[in-house]
Amino acid sequence: GNNDLLVLTQPQMITAIHNDHLAAGADIIETHSFNGTRLSMAAYDMEYLVPELNITAAKLANLLFTYVKVGSQAMFQKKLEIY
């Protein structure tokens, strides 16, 4: 099935997956938009969703991270409160 569509239809599920990975000790997470390409989405006649899908997937992954600047180096850091 088109699991990437869950980013748009079930964002709370995707956020829960991200949270579970971080709670288990992961330092990085993926966006869950593995097939977020026009070619892959063409199988479902949903090429038009590719930009929205990828932007939303990145925003969901970013919810659990915060942008910090340490000295002259900028980086992302896990938020202290995992929800």
pLDDT above 80: residue 65 = no
* pLDDT value for 83: 40
47 burial (CB, 10 Å; 0-12 / 13-18 / 19+) is middle
| Partner residues linked to 81 by β-bridges | none
* pLDDT value for 28: 78
Cα angle 19-30-9, degrees, rounded to a multiple of 5:
70
Cα angle 26-13-25, degrees, rounded to a multiple of 5:
10
The DSSP output letter for 35 is T
pLDDT digits (tens, 9 = 90+) for 6-29: 999 999 999 888 888 877 878 778
* pLDDT value for 75: 63
* pLDDT value for 42: 96
User: Which residue, 30, 37, 36, is CA-closest to 14?
Assistant: 30
* pLDDT value for 37: 95
